[in-house]
Amino acid sequence: MFTLDPTKSWTQFEKIIFRSLFLCLGLFLLDYEIGMLFLDLDQYKALSAMYAHLSQPLFWIDQHIFHIGYNPKLHQAFPGDSYFGMVYYLTIISISVFVVIVWSIIERHKKNYHHLNYWFRLYVRYAVALIVFSYGMEKVFDVQMSYPQVTDLLTPMGDEVKFNVAWNFIGASPGYETFTGICEVVGSLLLLFHRTYFFGSLFMCTILTNVVAINFFYNIGVLLPSSFLLVSLLYLFLPYAQKLIQFFFRGKTISIAEKHYKFEKSWKKYFVLGLGILIPLLSIINSTHEAHKLYHKVQTNRKDEKLYDVTFFIAKDTLQPLLTDTLRWRRFVFLSKKNTAIYNMEDKADFYDCDIDSLKKICRLHDNEDSTKWDIMHYSYPGENMLRFTGSWKGTNVNILMKEIPIDSMKLNKETSIFLQG
């Protein structure tokens, strides 16, 4: 399919498939790159606002055509494995189908799309390479699936969702995550060069097949985007499908050479060459910088992690607390300087933001924007590895004494390499 020989004509079926892939993959990759650009520039609010403008039109389309159940009042306006994402992608596909029909009628006598196919394949190569490279660098720096936080370590596996199980499984072994990141980075770089892109597409296809499988079977909410990336790679070596069958299953010699298109004018040649070097270079530098910056943030938060067991919790009385007591604490966790988790007597965690005033020795705990409802605690260190809170908690004056538990004492954190075990 899509023979790379410019002297041969395509069948009507091949032309229709190409037009469909050109529109669907082109729009998806363009949308993906625009989204990544906004995120790299820390413009998440602007990106959300852009998609929010589509909420009402997509809501109308869903009510009259798809009937998926998208509701702007309940569902976030952001593409992904969500109600909005399903309607968003189905709308793109539907528009593409309509355009393909019109396109096919207008160019029904067109013999082939060798020239357009050549440049579109080049675009797909670069787009997929730069997208996957950014994910790969986050894995190389161990920040995409970072090491499990204290709250993850304290949560029984049976209480975890599959997403967290997969995330913590990979994050618990930084070496394995780095290995998978290196594979993605190498595969991305192979896609950028003409002599290596064919092997790179096969190599990357193996990697993304595993990624899509994990996303699907562990309910990770990027199944649709990752599937589109995989389809993009399949498109790259689709013209070689028959040759691969001949090589692997019939032992025949094959050639994967293809025609190169060149510009007649030198300035066009050097302009495209410059873009082909500058854009990937800037993207690679930016992805590496962002991953490195996130690495430092994760490392700083990890140093600020502290786990405390509550020694006593005095409220209205000093009686032994019941397991159903919703006021008293069992554990207290600093996830960072600004985030905490409080475990109740049933050992269930609630998460709060915290603002610490080190001069006044005050810690403000809150899970809402109304500062009048924030709980204010005065803190002190009455002894080694001890922390005391006194103040108001849910409208009740409390006195809480806690003892720090070393996080490194947990078995998972103490486990050494298999080569060093007895």
Q: Is there a single domain that holds both residue 221 and residue 157?
A: yes
Q: Is there a single domain that holds both residue 282 and residue 377?
A: no
Residue 267 lies in a domain: yes
Q: Are 165 and 149 in contact (CB under 8 A)?
A: no
For residue 270 the two structure tokens come to: 């050097």
Taking CA atoms, 121 is separated from 117, 163, 231, in Å, by 6, 33, 13
- Using CA atoms, how far apart are residues 267 and 271, in angstroms rounded to an integer? 6
Residue 282 lies in a domain: yes
Note the pLDDT of residue 271: 85
Q: Which of 282, 30, 277, 278 is nearest to 133 (CA)?
A: 282
Helices (H), 54-196: 55-61, 83-106, 114-140, 150-154, 162-171, 174-192
If you ran DSSP here, which 8-state letter would residue 252 be given?
-
Residue 23 lies in a domain: yes
Q: Is there a single domain that holds both residue 285 and residue 165?
A: yes
Note the pLDDT of residue 104: 93
Note the pLDDT of residue 128: 95
Note the pLDDT of residue 316: 67
Q: Is there a single domain that holds both residue 344 and residue 287?
A: no
Residue 420 lies in a domain: no
Would you call 364 helix, strand, or coil by DSSP?
strand
- Give the domain extent around 24: 1-112
Q: Is there a single domain that holds both residue 51 and residue 86?
A: yes
Note the pLDDT of residue 4: 67
Q: Is there a single domain that holds both residue 93 and residue 121?
A: no
Q: Is there a single domain that holds both residue 296 and residue 321?
A: no
Residue 417 lies in a domain: no
Note the pLDDT of residue 129: 95
Token match 């990752």: residue? 226
Residue 422 lies in a domain: no
Q: What is the dihedral of CA 73, 74, 80, 82, to 10 degrees?
A: -130
What is the Cα 133 distance to its own chain's centre?
12
Note the pLDDT of residue 294: 92
- Using CA atoms, how far apart are residues 390 and 362, in angstroms rounded to an integer? 10
CATH number, position 359: 2.40.128
- Final residue before a domain boundary, out of 96, 112, 128: 112
Q: Are 148 and 302 in contact (CB under 8 A)?
A: no
Note the pLDDT of residue 134: 94
Q: Is there a single domain that holds both residue 288 and residue 364?
A: no
Q: Is there a single domain that holds both residue 159 and residue 199?
A: yes
The string of DSSP letters for 110-122 reads ----HHHHHHHHH
Mean pLDDT by 10 residues, the chain (422 residues): 72 91 92 84 81 91 92 86 89 93 91 89 94 94 91 90 92 93 96 91 93 92 88 88 86 78 78 87 92 91 92 72 73 93 91 93 91 91 93 89 90 67 50
Q: Are 240 and 135 in contact (CB under 8 A)?
A: no
Q: Is there a single domain that holds both residue 252 and residue 121?
A: yes
Residue 6 burial by CB count (10 A; 0-12/13-18/19+): exposed, middle or buried? middle
Would you call 330 helix, strand, or coil by DSSP?
coil
Note the pLDDT of residue 399: 92
Q: Which residues of 100-118 are buried (b: 16+ CB within 10 A; e: fewer)?
A: beebeeeeeeeebbbeebe
Q: What is the pTM of this model?
A: 0.86
